Amino acid sequence: MAKFKRLHVYQTMEETGIIPVFYHPDVEIAKAVVKACYDGGIRAFEFTNRGDFAHEVFSELVKWASSACPDMVLGVGSIVDAPTASLYIQLGANFIVGPLLNPDIFKVCNRRQIAYSPGCATPTEIGLAQELGAEIVKVFPGGNVGGPSFIKNIKGPMPWSKIMVTGGVEPTEENLSAWFKAGATCVGMGSNLFPKEVLQRNDWKAITELCRRCLAIVNKLRK
């Protein structure tokens, strides 16, 4: 069962501003990355359903994080169908994210009071996601659907929209400034937050420091 209530999950995503997006088949590396992000101030983390037995890695991660990172809201990404969403909810996922919008996933998540941020790329999809109950809608792939100007232009006629951008987000002041000034509520960041060479040398402090720097940029932009 999910550890946090849906409203708390959405608030944490919004307040944190940056949601790391990560997958690794080795549960010990996954733990180290989650802890590094937690130490850097991150409080919402998306583990992606990318590899074989990913759900087994997530199951171990959730149990471990409940004591090692007690305030971390752990969710699962790359979810495209309702049965997979159900599986991860049963394992303790606090939120579900997908690259597309699937109404059947809303049925599962709404019944269990779990936050669902579907991937959308048009105003119509964003509007449908809101009708179905999404508080925060994912725009994906952010860098390809129009970049920050797309977010700004969506917020014009739909100012109530809370948007998480994934795809095309980089850990730099210039990039983050563009997204947040355009009106993004939060951003999802994957490989740019976890450079291969950093993972290869188990340099967890570098990840902690990068998270800390990115959060400082976001906090400065919000003042």
Per-residue model confidence (pLDDT) at position 188: 98
Spatial separation of the C-alpha atoms in residues 93 and 103, rounded to whole Å: 19
The β-bridge partners of 37 are none
| Residue 150 contacts residue 139 (beta carbons within 8 Å) | yes
Q: Indicate the residue type of 214.
A: C
* pLDDT(108) > 80: yes
**Which token pair is 185?**
């509520």
Contact between residue 35 and residue 66 where contact means Cβ atoms under 8 Å apart: no
Using CB atoms within 10 A of its CB, is residue 191 exposed (0-12), middle (13-18) or buried (19+)? exposed
Dihedral of CA atoms 37, 21, 203, 210 in degrees, nearest 10, equals: -60
3-state SS, residue 153:
helix
Of all residues in the chain, the percent with pLDDT exceeding 90 is 98
**What is the identity of the amino acid at 164?**
M
Report the interhelical angle of 82-90 vs 54-68 (nearest 10°).
40
Whole-model pTM: value is 0.97
pLDDT digits (tens, 9 = 90+) for 21-51: 999 999 999 999 999 999 999 999 999 999 9
2, pLDDT greater than 80: no
Average confidence (pLDDT) over 106-124:
98
pLDDT value of position 85: 98
Cα end-to-end distance, the chain, whole Å: 36
How high is the pLDDT of residue 3?
83
Domain architecture of the chain: domains with CATH: 6-217 (3.20.20.70)
